[in-house]
Protein backbone atom coordinates (compact mmCIF):
# COMPACT_ATOMS: atom_id res chain seq x y z
CA UNK A 1 0.00 0.00 0.00
CA UNK A 2 1.31 3.44 -0.92
CA UNK A 3 0.59 6.35 1.45
CA UNK A 4 0.87 9.99 0.51
CA UNK A 5 0.69 13.07 2.70
CA UNK A 6 -1.02 16.20 1.45
CA UNK A 7 -1.81 19.46 3.29
CA UNK A 8 -5.48 20.01 4.00
CA UNK A 9 -7.08 22.61 1.76
CA UNK A 10 -10.10 24.43 3.19
CA UNK A 11 -11.34 27.50 4.98
CA UNK A 12 -8.28 27.86 7.20
CA UNK A 13 -9.80 26.24 10.30
CA UNK A 14 -7.47 23.27 9.88
CA UNK A 15 -4.46 25.27 8.82
CA UNK A 16 -1.28 23.24 9.11
CA UNK A 17 -3.13 19.95 9.52
CA UNK A 18 -2.11 16.95 7.47
CA UNK A 19 -4.44 14.35 6.04
CA UNK A 20 -3.14 10.91 5.19
CA UNK A 21 -4.55 9.40 2.02
CA UNK A 22 -4.19 5.73 1.30
CA UNK A 23 -3.84 4.75 -2.33
CA UNK A 24 -3.81 1.06 -3.10
CA UNK A 25 -2.10 0.21 -6.37
CA UNK A 26 -2.93 -3.20 -7.72
CA UNK A 27 -0.48 -4.67 -10.24
CA UNK A 28 -0.20 -6.20 -12.75
CA UNK A 29 -2.51 -4.23 -15.01
CA UNK A 30 -3.08 -4.55 -18.75
CA UNK A 31 -2.96 -1.51 -21.06
CA UNK A 32 -3.12 -0.92 -24.79
CA UNK A 33 -0.65 1.43 -26.49
CA UNK A 34 -2.11 3.02 -29.60
CA UNK A 35 0.45 5.75 -30.28
CA UNK A 36 4.21 6.12 -29.94
CA UNK A 37 3.83 9.85 -29.22
CA UNK A 38 6.55 10.60 -31.75
CA UNK A 39 5.83 12.41 -35.03
CA UNK A 40 8.38 10.33 -36.95
CA UNK A 41 6.84 6.95 -36.10
CA UNK A 42 3.34 5.50 -36.26
CA UNK A 43 1.99 2.25 -34.86
CA UNK A 44 0.28 0.08 -37.44
CA UNK A 45 -1.71 -1.73 -34.74
CA UNK A 46 -2.17 -1.37 -30.97
CA UNK A 47 0.22 -3.12 -28.60
CA UNK A 48 -1.03 -4.86 -25.47
CA UNK A 49 1.30 -4.37 -22.50
CA UNK A 50 1.31 -5.33 -18.86
CA UNK A 51 2.45 -3.08 -16.05
CA UNK A 52 4.05 -4.65 -13.00
CA UNK A 53 5.70 -3.30 -9.88
CA UNK A 54 9.47 -3.85 -9.99
CA UNK A 55 12.06 -3.30 -7.29
CA UNK A 56 12.90 0.21 -8.53
CA UNK A 57 9.57 1.28 -10.04
CA UNK A 58 7.05 0.25 -12.64
CA UNK A 59 7.88 -2.05 -15.55
CA UNK A 60 5.94 -1.99 -18.84
CA UNK A 61 6.43 -5.01 -21.12
CA UNK A 62 4.62 -6.33 -24.18
CA UNK A 63 3.29 -9.86 -24.56
CA UNK A 64 5.71 -10.66 -27.41
CA UNK A 65 8.83 -9.84 -25.41
CA UNK A 66 9.96 -7.17 -27.87
CA UNK A 67 11.13 -4.72 -25.23
CA UNK A 68 10.28 -3.14 -21.90
CA UNK A 69 10.28 0.25 -20.19
CA UNK A 70 10.79 1.31 -16.58
CA UNK A 71 9.95 4.40 -14.59
CA UNK A 72 9.01 5.78 -11.21
CA UNK A 73 5.55 6.64 -12.55
CA UNK A 74 3.30 4.97 -15.08
CA UNK A 75 3.85 7.79 -17.56
CA UNK A 76 7.66 7.50 -17.23
CA UNK A 77 7.49 3.73 -17.73
CA UNK A 78 5.22 4.09 -20.80
CA UNK A 79 7.48 6.78 -22.28
CA UNK A 80 10.52 4.56 -21.70
CA UNK A 81 8.75 1.62 -23.37
CA UNK A 82 7.79 3.72 -26.42
CA UNK A 83 11.34 5.06 -26.66
CA UNK A 84 12.80 1.56 -26.39
CA UNK A 85 10.68 0.36 -29.33
CA UNK A 86 11.93 3.24 -31.48
CA UNK A 87 15.59 2.82 -30.48
CA UNK A 88 15.44 -0.94 -31.07
CA UNK A 89 13.93 -0.38 -34.53
CA UNK A 90 16.55 2.21 -35.50
CA UNK A 91 19.53 0.19 -34.22
CA UNK A 92 18.36 -3.02 -35.86
CA UNK A 93 17.66 -1.27 -39.18
CA UNK A 94 21.10 0.32 -39.10
CA UNK A 95 22.73 -3.08 -38.57
CA UNK A 96 20.36 -5.08 -40.78
CA UNK A 97 23.12 -6.83 -42.76
CA UNK A 98 24.87 -8.17 -39.66
CA UNK A 99 21.97 -9.45 -37.52
CA UNK A 100 21.69 -12.93 -36.08
CA UNK A 101 18.48 -14.77 -36.95
CA UNK A 102 16.67 -13.86 -33.71
CA UNK A 103 17.42 -10.17 -34.12
CA UNK A 104 16.45 -10.27 -37.81
CA UNK A 105 13.11 -11.76 -36.76
CA UNK A 106 12.68 -9.03 -34.13
CA UNK A 107 13.39 -6.41 -36.80
CA UNK A 108 10.77 -7.96 -39.05
CA UNK A 109 8.19 -7.79 -36.26
CA UNK A 110 9.11 -4.18 -35.42
CA UNK A 111 8.91 -3.14 -39.08
CA UNK A 112 5.45 -4.68 -39.37
CA UNK A 113 4.40 -2.86 -36.20
CA UNK A 114 5.98 0.58 -36.70
CA UNK A 115 5.91 2.77 -39.78
CA UNK A 116 8.40 5.59 -40.28
CA UNK A 117 6.54 8.76 -41.27
CA UNK A 118 8.41 10.96 -43.74
What distance in Å separates the CA atoms of residue 3 and residue 95, rounded to the nearest whole number? 47
Instruction: Inform me whether the pLDDT recorded for 30 exceeds 60.
Output: yes
Give all strands (DSSP E) within the chain, no chain letters. Answer: 2-7, 18-23, 29-33, 41-43, 47-54, 57-62, 68-71, 114-116
Compare 55 and 41 and report the one with higher pLDDT: 41
50-92: pLDDT as tens digits? 999 988 899 999 998 999 999 999 999 999 999 999 999 999 9
DSSP one-letter code for 54: E
The pTM of the full predicted model, rounded to 2 decimals, is 0.77
Amino acid sequence: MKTTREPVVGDGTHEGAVVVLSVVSSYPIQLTIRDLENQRFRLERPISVSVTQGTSGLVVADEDGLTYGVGRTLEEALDDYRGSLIVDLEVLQKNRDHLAQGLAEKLSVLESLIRVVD
